[in-house]
Amino acid sequence: MALAKPSPTLYVSNLETKTKKPELKASLYSLFTPYGQVIDIVAKKHGGGRGQAFIVFAEQAAATAAMRGLSGEMFYDKELSITYSKSPSNTTLSRLDPSLSRDKAAMEAAKLVVSNAQGEYEQLEKEREADEAALRGEKRDLAEDGDEGGRESKRLRGDTLPEEEDEEEMELDDEDDDDQPSLICSNLPPECNEDIMSALFSQYTGFQSITTFSSPLPKSHPKPNKGSKSFLVRFDNTDNLKKAEGETKGYLMQPGWEMGVSAK
């Protein structure tokens, strides 16, 4: 059988399947990073990807050294099987040509959809506000014409006129739904944003939304790195929240940034 062409991406199989995904990726990173700069690790815990992972190095030489040094190594009581990946990873392609990144293409498409929807929404809001302003103007004119005679009659009788009422109703600030199950995620790198966090949590059933979290962190969270960011992740029910919490606690968005996760 022909060997795969040398590549900076390694295909690793015969992995233990019971370990949680965040722990598995962290352990793989610790195992392979002594051989060179690891820029991505793709490990799936479901479907046909169970027991497999792709380790993406910045340099092909580092990948070759890792394959030679770790093939047959015992990892979680199982012997590692390592070969070159048959095709370059998306991370490698995007480093060579950013326009080839699937994530970037998906993000750009999503931004375009959101931008178009936002433009249509703003136009509808302008039209609605214009219609309401015109309607308020007509009502005001009618009210002023009708009130002049009544006010004059009250003045002649000596009645006290009521204070002028503000025509615009007070707007109540939207309050967060404290009853909705939510996860507090802390110690995220400064470049992390809601789109990146949505990509991470959208794989979990019941995921609802992501917002920035600025309140004090729970004491159970690790001390955050300088300049770190925090987010609030909402779910539809507690069961789905607990599943996501268990699989993402300690997740490494990048080396040295262990994510703190707890239910709000």
pLDDT tens digits, 166-202: 444 434 334 444 578 999 999 999 989 998 888 889 8
Q: Are 44 and 52 in contact (CB under 8 A)?
A: yes
Report the C-alpha gap between 42 and 55 in whole angstroms: 7
Report the C-alpha gap between 252 and 33 in whole angstroms: 14
Q: Say which residues have a Cβ less than 8 Å from residue 91's Cβ, sequence separation at least 6.
A: 39, 40, 56
pLDDT of 2 above 90: no
- Domain membership of residue 192 (yes or no) is yes
Last residue of a domain, one of 34, 68, 97: 97
Average pLDDT, the chain: 79
> For the chain, how many structural domains are there in total?
2
Quote the domain boundaries for residue 191. 182-263
CA distances from 66 to 36, 42, 165 (A): 8, 16, 77
Q: Say which residues have a Cβ less than 8 Å from residue 121's Cβ, sequence separation at least 6.
A: none
Task: Give the three-class secondary structure for 161.
Answer: coil
Last residue of a domain, one of 65, 97, 129: 97
Last residue of a domain, one of 97, 130, 155: 97
- Domain membership of residue 257 (yes or no) is yes
pLDDT band at 8 (very low <50, low <70, confident <90, very high): very high
Look up the CATH number of the domain holding residue 209: 3.30.70.330
